[in-house]
Structure 1
Amino acid sequence: MNMGIDGLRLDSAQMAARGYYLSITDFHIIVEIPIGSPDGYYKSHSPAFQYHITYTIEPMLEVFWMADQTQQDTRYKILFPITTPPMPRPPYTDDRTVPEMREFKLYVGIFLHDVELRNITFATGVLTVEESNARGFTVQQHVFANGSSVFSLKVPFDTDVIFKHNPQVLVTTYTLSVVFGFVILPEESSFAHAVKLQASLQDVVLPTLTGTCDQDQFYITVKYGSQGTNFKTMVGGLDLTPELAEAYKFKGNATHGSIEVPYTATSSAFELITANSIRARLAVLVWDPITNWILSDLFLACYFPLTTTRCYPNGTISALAVKVESVPNLDPSWLTLKDQSCMPVSSNDRFAQFIFNADSCGTTRTFFDHYMMYENEIGLYYNAEKGLTHTSPVDPEYRQTVSCYYVVNDTQTIAFHAKSRLYEPKAEISSGQMTVQMRLATDSSYQEFYEAEDYPVKKYLREPLYFEVELVQSTDPHLALILDNCWATLQKEMTSLPSWDIIVASCAYSGDGYATAFSTVSVDDRVSVPSRYKRFSMKMFAFIQEDQVLKHEVYVHCDLVICDTTSPAEGICQGQCANLAVKGTPTQMRRGQSTTSTYQKQISFGPITLNSFQ
């Protein structure tokens, strides 16, 4: 027996070199040929538009034998072409993208010599290889020594066929989606291969906002950054719609945009009124509509000229009341003068205009050496008898004093006091001494207290303040805490003047209209020994000196007595406000006279800052 390829006989050395084997059994002659032998060839196919290959070879078998009876030689030759069934060979994709190079780079293969790349489908359409190269998308074929090949493609990030997304504020994710279209020669049968690649790069320059003001308007400029105008703008809580952009005189180019917003626009917020100006604030932000991230924001506050009171020689007075943001629920049409029948002559959601005579609407007149003053007040009043429901006794008042001086047939407008939500106290936790602490509770339940991050805490005139004084760092259940005297000062020093009484001789001071009230302390999850706690409340009050409202930092101080409950109760240790017989200034009498059953401490709390719109 001999074997060969394509009709040519191979000797044993040639067969061994090629990995061919020839053997025989009782019933068969077996020829073994490895697929891929160089004596055969591969061919591409595309059944169901998928890439497959086949291998074809034509072996030869020669058989010689001699008949026993005739002794004659017989020769038989067989030629048998063999082709394998189609074998799937899905193309692979080799992603060699380096994001910092700002381009996608990939390889697709491996294909036989009979495969040709005809076109590439991008997000924007189908391009031939020539058109792709003309667009700057570099397409190349790389042929190996055995005739097979791969195709490469380079696509820059900054082209219209790339989808850009910002999953993080400063990071851009680039996505390339393409479909390669191949044909097999010479049949011109086709198949396709889809590729999707992503790359992320920290290359985002966020937009920035800047602003200035003149006498009438805010001027806002936005620098777009690296993402162009792919963001939304909000002005004063309102989306910058085309209609609003037109109203605010929007102008823009490839890198910047600007708007002009009048300070009276609904987008602005009024913060403060003075005698001849108003402080208005404009909040502007730009945000990503896909992620809802705020990309940049600006809060611009400016003073704008505004005359709110005018005094005319004929005795007519005009006054403009302004709704500031500290009274968000105020309807200016509810405001009246002292005579509550004197309503605004006109109003909208931000202003109320009053015009009245100096001898009407409850206006008062005061004579001085060389002039006289007419004074009235714009306010929001609560009157249960008249059934007014605009406000309630616990609501902050709105007060705006209007004053006119008349001097020798001449008139001038002086400063008025806008007292909308008159005082906004700001409390801070005192460092104090560690054995006792004084804290400000959020409400009368004394379950939650203001923490450092809550400050400044806003409190208003006549709003109650809830104080708790606690004896800490002690596990002795036989100790009791008594508040001897508490007072308020304008300085950190306890002995500074002036001062105002809060608790006197362990009892609530009742010498003014802001009476102090003690609260009972009961056992709960937080309080295990009620005797180590004292709670009192008082309404936020104005500090008055010579008929002037003081706008200073205020400190609260207390003399404390710690009593031994196992000893006979004497004097102040009889209980909070139990020693009613003590007169005068008990603290001064007892200070420095500690006995074995009492221990005196002092604690300060503050400052509480009083703010007034003036």
Structure 2
Amino acid sequence: MASGMFISVVLFLSVWSTAKSSQVPDEVYRMECRDRYFMIAVDLSFTWEEPRFEAVDETGVFPLVGQYAAMCGYNVQVLPLQDRVELRASYFSCHTDNQDDEVFTFNFNMMVTHGEEVLTYNMNKTCSPALPWSPREVTCEANYMEVSVRSDVACPTGTRRDDWDAVVQTAYTSAVSDWQVMFQRVGQEVTPMNLTEAQDQGYTFDLTDGRLVFRTPYGQPYSFSTDVNGVPVEVVYATLFSRQSWVVLMVDLVAACSKYEGSHDGSYLRWQTPEVLHPLVAGLHETKISVGVDGKLVEQPVAEERGYLVEKFNDTVQISIPHNATGGYRKTVASGDLNEFYTFEIYVEQISVDEDDVDTRLRFHKTLTTPLLPRPIFSEDRTVFEEQMFTVYLGDVPLDVELIAVILKDTEYNVPPFTNKPGSIITQVIQPNDTRSYTMKVPFEDSDVLQQLNKEEKAVEYRLDINYTLTVLPEKKLFFHQASVTASTPLSPPAFIAECSDFGINFKLDRHPFDSLWVITIGSDPLTEELAEQHGYIMTNDGKTLLLQAPLFSHGYEYTNITLKGYFGTFEILVRDRETFEVQSSSVKTCPFTTKEFIMCSTDGWMTVIADLTYSVPRGSSLASASLVDPYCGPRDSDDSRVLFSFPLNSCGSLVKLNKEIVTYENEVLFSQTQPAVKSPGGLLDRVTMECTYPLAGLHRLFSVYKFESDTAGVGKIFHSIVHHQGLQSPTTEPTTVTQTMVPVTRRTKSTRRPGRHPSAKFIKVSNFLQKLSKRTRGLSQVKTVPAI
């Protein structure tokens, strides 16, 4: 039947291009011989525009575009997710050199654009099919259907008798020696046409050494759509015939392809095809399905490992592929939110065997694409508070999305390298699940971090607002992701740094923005410039640092461990809550000091005195014989020139001087010897007296046996006055004094007082005494001296 059969094919001719360029770089293209077609894949980065292809044979060059490419068995497809353009050519395509259906030689021109220049590259390849041809093979390409049958089995197996009789009758009555074709459609009259007419309408017929080939683009006038088991199918049914003498030669050529577009259920992409696409291939008793991607079938174990499922039900084959399975391609889309879709170039082979053991091999090329699926990225606060910086994690960023900038507050920082922001870093990590992540670290004290005071919680709240700017590749479409992280740190009351000096204690405080929550006090008095001036403090405050110098003997000191060798002075600064005035913390510093003379008037009614008696000792006397007015009140300690007394104010012969506002206790250092030993110039002696003065308003009790209470410490003075050795004071010599201003000390308990004889004093209520004193001295300001008894 094959002998003498020849079908002419009309070719579109173009001018042969003589301009050729150098060899195409190996890294930008590949050519492969597949089972039933030849493939060229070219990297899109190789050209500014999509490359164009021409088929070349001995008759000329033919641009492979539109309807002509489909008629001749070529499919040119741009695959942006794979970043390539792909040409697939059927082994029976036009312009392909076919030697005995075993060796096929392809020759193409590829035109690429570089700037304003168009370069042409010649690409050729010789292929031999890896598998033998089946008696009947059908290819469902993306843009055409193709059927080829072996010429020695081109009999109408399975054709319905009524259809066959109608075709035979028509063919017999109209057959001529030239080949003609009849296209059958249900309910329409069969009309023969010659092959030239069929070619003009987009149909291609070809006769090789052993096969008859028929090809048609989808949607041609004589194609028809039908529904098989709920699956849409496109069918073209052509009968080729010729009358040779009294014999009519007839060949049935039927191509049927599933037009099911696919579906997605949230997890799987599904595609369906009827097990039997047309009655011509009815009577099948065995069907085998194989699945692959990108034109390559995979073994069953590999398909199962990838999660591919092939199921049959109701005479329908259903193929299910997880949308994120290996072999697919994904793409991120920025359309308001971040979305993605998956695409599979599936390749399905269906081998069917009919009742006559004639097998039909059916191959499908199908692109399955999911709808847009949400592709959220997420940010996570991974801050470790002890690091005092924010750590923010941005995860699940697809590999085709990159972070290019971050906006913190109102400032944009480029990524990478993020080096224009000292102290802050951004690191990128490629994750095992083919995503990328970014980790950003920003210190709490960074200028882009918002700080807010929470007065109720006494805490500082830090907030970092981040606007991530990402770009989707390769189109560089921008997408923004916002995140906000917060941290809270309890505020600590201000703490001073203190150091000792020869003249007192110095305090330093580094100021912070929220120090206004607290009040700094000396005792209960807020530390102000007025208070510093009043008590002789030296204070400077530039807004960043507060410096306070508390001179020795100024208000606020406490003195302990007083000996002739020295003593300890303690100064305390309190920090109080501004609202409640409760003490929150204190800064206390204790320093050792030495002094030649010293006087302390405590709040519990004790006078402690270190007096210099260098010029006060009469001849024949020693410091050990010194006493106060009461001869029974001797010194607690002495050395070669000084004595230490510590005694209750209202004892040891002290005189009490009262007026409206103050009370003064006075005592004097005396010696039991009356014969002087002149030590001072001109035979004069140094008379040493000391006194403690308290404001009456601060006294709780004026006189009691051992009880004395005052709100404040007294003001102490030591007087040195020059007297004649007979005891008469020189009227021409001014007294010298050592003054101790109001100095608080720790109140002594009875157990800590030095035992000794202390005469008792009469108890007087302060309020009654002041009333009587007011009556006697109304309008006067005299001082009344009262001996302590």
TM-score (norm 1): 0.41
Name the larger-Rg structure. 2
TM-score (norm 2): 0.33
